[in-house]
Structure 1
Amino acid sequence: MNEMTTIKTTLKDWESDQEVRWCPGCGDYAILKAVQRTLPELGADPAKTVFVSGIGCSSRFPYYMASYGFHTIHGRAPAVATGIKLANPELDLWLVTGDGDGMSIGGNHTMHFLRRNINCQIMLFNNEIYGLTKGQYSPTSRLGTPSPTTPLGSVDRPLQPGAFALGAGAPFVARAYDTSKNLTDVLKAAHAHQGAAFVEIFQNCIVYNKDRFADFTEKAVADQGQLWLKNGEPMLFGSVKSGGFKGIALDTEKLALKVVDVAVGEDGKPDWQAAGVLVHDVTNRGVAHMLVELPMGPFPVALGVIYDDPRPTYEGAMLAQDEQARAGKTADLAKLFAKGQTWSVAEEDQGPLSGV
C-alpha cells in the first residue's frame, strides 16, 4: 500500500447500520471490535478501505464495517482482492477468511495470493471447525475431533496455517487470538507491513467447538501456555507466580527448539542469557517455521509477529512494468486492431450471403 493520508475517526465511524448476527458468545464479535478499534488509531479512511471475504461465519465481516466491501464466493476472496489492488493500489485492502474458506476450497487461491505478495492484511479466523455448515471437521481440526463427519474422531493430520503461509512465501506471518488485548498491536504491525500480511486469529466457536483454545487462553494457564514474541527480545514465557520462567532455546544436536528453565538473577529478573534463550529475529524464516509448528502442550503457543521480511509487492512490479511498456508510446486502438494477421475485403468482392 502506498502512503495514505490519515484522517480522524472513531470506533463508531466504522460500525455499519447492519445488525451483527453471530451466535451469542462467538469470538467473531471480539475480532470485529478489535478491528474497529484499530482503524481509527491507524488514521484509516473508510472511503479508501475495502474488506473482502469469502464464505463462512467470518465472511459476514464486510457487512458490519462502514467501508467498502465485497462478500464473494467460497474460497475466491483472494482472486477478487487481487483485482481490486491492481485496479486501485491506493486502497487499504483487508481480506477476511476462515480455516475452511481459506485453507480448503480456497487453499490454492490463498497460496498464490501470498507468493505474489499482494499488499493486503489477511485475517484468517481459525476455529478448527466448519461453523456455518453445522460443525463438520475442517482442515485445521485436531486429531480426534468429533464432528458430524467424524463421529469417531478425526484421523486427518491438521494443517498449520502459519506453516502454510510461510511455505507459500508470505513475507509476514503473525498469530493472536480473539479476546487477546494484544490483537490490536498485531493488526497494527500487519498494516505497517508493505506486502501480504497473514494473521491467523484463533477464534472460539461457542456452538460447535467450544473452548477449543482454553488450554492456552484461559487466565490460569496463559503465562505458561503463551509465548508472545517481540523482535529483538528473548523468547521468554511464564512467571514466578505460575511456576517459574521458561524460555525457548535451540537444541543443537537435533536442530530443533526446546523449552528450558530460566533462573531468576539477584536483580529479580530472569537470567535468560545463562539459559541460552533465543532472541527473536522476525527476519529468520527457519526459526519462524519451527515456531509455528511447536506442538501444543510440551511447548507454549507462539503468538505475535513471527515473521516479517518485506519484499517488493506484486502490484508495484506490475504497475512499474506497465509504465515501462507505455513509455514513449501513443495509444492507437485502430493500429492495435490492424497489427498482425489482418486482411480487408473489397466491396466488389462481397457477394450475397448463402446458406442462411
Structure 2
Amino acid sequence: MPDIPVLTAQDFKSDIKPIWCPGCGDYSVLTALAKACAELGRPRESIALISGIGCSSRLPAYTSVYGFHGVHGRALALAAGVKLARPDLTVIAAGGDGDGLSIGGNHFLHACRRNVDMTYILMDNQVYGMTKGQASPTTAPDWCESKLTPAGTGIAPVAPLLLALAAGVNFFARGFAGNPNELARLITAGITHPGFSVIHVLSPCVTFRAEQRAWKQAVHALDDAPATDRAAAMMRYAGDDGFTTGILYAGGNPPFMPERQHAMAAADFEAGFVVERQAAG
C-alpha cells in the first residue's frame, strides 16, 4: 500500500487570504483548527466544514477540506444532515454568536438534544461584526456603543454554556483565540469525544469592541477536572463569569445513530406485540 503523507497544519489551509480585520480573533481560530486537523492525522477529504453567515463563517473558504457555506443560522442543520448521510466523515460546523444563538438558536438547542456525532466551533465576540456592530445575543445589557442601542439593550445576555447544558450537550469546552495552541487541544478533544461537542471560543472583535483586548487578562483556566454529571455541571457553572477556559463538561451519552434507533424501536414494537399476544391468550 502507498505511504499516506503526514499532513501539517499548513496543509489544511487554502490559498485564499483571509479578509478579517487586523487583530480579529478568528485568525487564531483558523490556526487552531488547522493544528487540530493535523493532530488528528485524518486525510483532508475525510473532513467536512460547514458554516452559516458572518465573519466567522468564512472559515470553509480558508481551509482545504470539504466545505459548505450555508445560509444564516442553518450550519448545524446542514452539518447534521451531512453526518447522518456520511457517518464516515468528520463533520465540523462553525459560526458566530449571532449565527448560532440568535438566527440559529433553535437549531443549536436541537443539535444539543439530538447528540449527533459532530463538533460546533462557536466563535463569540458579543457583537454582529459583519453588519457593522449591532448587539448580539451575548452582548452585555449595558453596552451602548451601537447606534441601534445607544442606551444598551437592557436585556440579559445568553449564557452559551448553561443553555447548552440545559439542552443536553454532550461535551462543552471554552477557549480563547489568544491561545491557539490550547484552543487546538480543545478542538481535538471535542472532535474525538462521541456525540455533539461545542467549542465556545472567545474571539475578540477589535473593530467594534476594542475593549475586548482586555480579555487576555480576564480568561482563566479551569482549576478542576471537567464535570461529568449534568446536574452538577449546572450547579458548578451557574455563577461562571464566562471567561473560564478548558474542557468544562464531558458527558457520556451515546451519539444518535439512526440504525441503532430504528433497531431499538423495532425491538420495542416486537416486545409489545409479544406481550399483547400473550395477554390475548
* TM exceeding 0.5: yes
| TM-score, scaled relative to structure 1 | 0.69
Task: Count the aligned residue pairs.
Answer: 262
What does residue 313 of structure 1 align with? 255
Question: What is the CA-CA distance between 1:51 and the residue it aligns to?
Answer: 0.4
Question: What is the CA-CA distance between 1:227 and the residue it aligns to?
Answer: 3.7
What does residue 247 of structure 1 align with? none
Distance 1:226 1:119, change over 3 A: same
* Contact 1:160 1:293 (8 Å CA) reproduced: no
Question: What is the CA-CA distance between 1:307 and the residue it aligns to?
Answer: 0.5
| Alignment equivalent of 2:221, drawn from 213, 222, 228 | 228
What does residue 286 of structure 1 align with? 231
* Structure 1: 5+ residue stretches without partners: 1-5, 219-224, 230-234, 236-278, 327-356
What does residue 186 of structure 1 align with? 186
What does residue 26 of structure 2 align with? 28
Q: Distance in 2 between matches of 1:35 and 1:136?
A: 27
Q: Distance in 1 between matches of 2:183 and 2:137?
A: 24
| Alignment equivalent of 1:19, drawn from 13, 17, 31 | 17
What's the Cα RMSD here? 2.2
Q: Distance in 2 between matches of 1:164 and 1:7?
A: 41
What does residue 273 of structure 2 align with? none
Q: Distance in 1 between matches of 2:260 and 2:134?
A: 45
Post-superposition CA distance 1:236-259 (Å, at most 9, x none): xxxxxxxxxxxxxxxxxxxxxxxx
Post-superposition CA distance 1:270-323 (Å, at most 9, x none): xxxxxxxxx535203234224444353xxx832100100121211x2x023457
Percent of pairs identical after alignment?
A: 38
2:255 maps to a residue whose letter is T
1:308 maps to a residue whose letter is A
* Structure 2: 5+ residue stretches without partners: 267-281
Question: What is the CA-CA distance between 1:179 and the residue it aligns to?
Answer: 1.2
| TM-score, scaled relative to structure 2 | 0.87
* Contact 1:175 1:305 (8 Å CA) reproduced: yes
SS in 1 for 2:79: helix
**Residue 157 of structure 1 pairs with residue 102 of structure 2:** no
| Alignment equivalent of 1:98, drawn from 96, 99, 105 | 96
Q: Distance in 2 between matches of 1:287 and 1:210?
A: 36
* Contact 2:176 2:219 (8 Å CA) reproduced: no
What does residue 174 of structure 1 align with? 173
Q: Distance in 1 between matches of 2:130 and 2:162?
A: 25
Structure having greater relative contact order (Cα 8 Å, sep ≥ 6): 2
1:303 maps to a residue whose letter is T
Correspondence list, 1:1-356, <5 A: 8-146=6-144, 147-180=146-179, 181-212=181-212, 214=214, 216-218=215-217, 225-229=218-222, 235=223, 279-294=224-239, 296=241, 301-314=243-256, 316=257, 318-322=258-262
Question: What is the CA-CA distance between 1:7 and the residue it aligns to?
Answer: 6.3
* Contact 1:95 1:123 (8 Å CA) reproduced: yes
Q: Which has a greater percent of helix?
A: 2
